[in-house]
Amino acid sequence: MRLASRDAVNAAWAAAAAPQRSHQLVHPDGDVLLTIDHDEREGFLVETPFHGRFHVDALGGQVRCAPLAEAGTSWHGLLIGQVLPLAATLRGYEIFHAGAVVAPGGRAGLFCAGSGVGKSTLMARLVGHGAGFLADDAVAVELTGGLPLAHPGPALVHLYERDVPLLGDDTPLRRIEGFRSMKAALAPAAVADPTPIGGLHLLERGEEGGPVRFERIDAVEPFALLSAIFTRSVKTPERLRRHLDVCAAIAERVPVFRVVVPAGTGREAMAEAVWEHLCRP
Amino acid sequence: MSADPVAATVAPEDVIRLPQSVVYRVFAAETVVLNLETGRYHGLNPTGGRMLAELESCGQVRATAERLARDYGRPVDEMLAELCSFCASLEDRGLIEVQRGA
């Protein structure tokens, strides 16, 4: 991965023989927020009007970043949230929209949640409890001998400013200064190695009152897994088959839990309940 | 009386095979069939998933129906009618190939 001029990215993409629009995000007022174009030989071009242009080659081995000068560091979010997951998918990984930590038993716990449930805060707090950090928002999974492994992602957690002081002074997460974004950037010490996945947790908000509940799902809904991925732009038969295989392996080999967090549950209470669950043998 | 236009398209003596571009994986809740050319996913309930697996194994619709009828304790004719209709639906979605009159 390297920084490149816009001209260099344009020159590389100019060789694209038959680029096609693979994905587009449009604001309700009609403004295009994000485009992803695909060319079979030249790979992918990711662009936003706020961050710049990013070229990922066809094998995912090279990423050229041409951020806009006015983007400051905000383009890192696009890099982590779109460009790198795309490159990793091209390199044979499946990227799940989830956070992940390593539990005391040495297995990875994955956490999927809709926005606002508090996934990132949970990852940060679990690290505070002693969990190893794997990923905040995008977890790369591969099958090794049929076993799903979670790979460490960027050592970065994004939190709203208001949530940072609540981690406490003794949090092991280090604040990254100068990171211009809507959220504060914190750096945990990340686990170095791929880790077998020991549990998949689907977080959801429940009715007010009562403790956090952990319900084992014996027959996980396959499309809940299939839809939990980041990158939909890579549609080769090999990738589609791999995506299905990874989801089938998770469904077969990984315990899946619905974690119901009652409305009004504090972030620390939620983290304590999850930590206690992760610590069970 | 008008025949069911879907069920009439696959006959008991027809032989079924899965194209190379179609794969399926069995989950506890359902079977997911994926057409690798279109990228389209299809969900089958456990009975449909079992039917597909037996069809892939046996090939011929009648032989498959006889095996399923035995396992489920149901009349062969009833199972055969269901299976023919099921195969027609799968063929319509491009998930199987039918060799007619084999």
Whether the full predicted model's pTM is greater than 0.95, yes or no, is no
Any idea where the domains of chain A sit in the sequence? 2-91, 95-279
Structure confidence by residue, pLDDT tens digits, A15-42: 999 999 999 999 999 999 999 999 999 9
Cβ of A241 and B28 within 8 Å?
Answer: no
Interface test with chain B among A38, A220, A234, A244, by most B beta carbons within 10 Å: A244
Structure confidence by residue, pLDDT tens digits, A77-110: 899 889 999 999 999 999 999 999 999 999 999 9
The pLDDT value given to residue A160:
87
Is there a domain that residue B53 lies in?
A: yes
Cβ of A218 and B28 within 8 Å?
Answer: yes
Is there a domain that residue B66 lies in?
A: yes
Give the span between the Cα atoms of A223 and A258, in whole angstroms.
15
Q: What are phi and psi of A15, to 5 degrees?
A: -80, -10
Contacts of A240 in chain B (CB under 8 A): 34, 36, 39
Is there a domain that residue B12 lies in?
A: no
Cβ atoms of residues B35 and B22 within 8 Å = yes
Which CATH number does A95-279 carry?
3.40.50.300
Q: What are phi and psi of B91, to 5 degrees?
A: -65, -40
Cβ of A248 and B27 within 8 Å?
Answer: yes
Cβ atoms of residues A239 and A264 within 8 Å = no
Residue span of the structural domain in which B67 resides: 20-97
- The CATH number covering residue B40 comes to 1.10.10
Average pLDDT (B28-43) is 94
Give the ipTM of the model, two decimals please.
0.85
A109, with CB counted inside 10 A (0-12, 13-18, 19+), is buried
Cβ of B29 and A219 within 8 Å?
Answer: yes
The pLDDT value given to residue A77:
84
**Contact residues for A147 (Cβ-Cβ < 8 A; gap 6+):** A196, A249, A253
The pLDDT value given to residue A135:
94
Is there a domain that residue B91 lies in?
A: yes
pLDDT confidence band for B59 (50 / 70 / 90): very high
The pLDDT value given to residue B7:
44
Closest partner residue to A240 (CB to CB) among B26, B30, B39 is B39
Helix (H, G, I), strand (E, B) or coil at B78: helix
Tokens of B33: 């069939």
Q: Which residues of B touch A (CB under 8 A)?
A: 21, 23, 25-30, 32, 34, 36-37, 39, 41, 43
Cβ of A248 and B32 within 8 Å?
Answer: yes
The pLDDT value given to residue A180:
62
Mean pLDDT of chain B: 91
The pLDDT value given to residue B102:
65
Low-confidence ranges of chain A (pLDDT < 50): none
Please check the confidence at residue B76 and state whether its pLDDT lies above 90: yes
The pLDDT value given to residue B4:
47
Is there a domain that residue B89 lies in?
A: yes
Q: How many domains does chain B have?
A: 1
Tokens of A120: 């990132």
Cβ atoms of residues A216 and B16 within 8 Å = no
Contacts of B33 in chain A (CB under 8 A): none
Average pLDDT (B70-81) is 96
Which residues lie across from A186 on neighbouring strands?
A157, A175
Cβ atoms of residues A164 and A186 within 8 Å = yes
Give the span between the Cα atoms of B53 and A35, in whole angstroms.
40
∠ CA A71-A73-A76 to the nearest 5 degrees? 105
The pLDDT value given to residue B6:
46
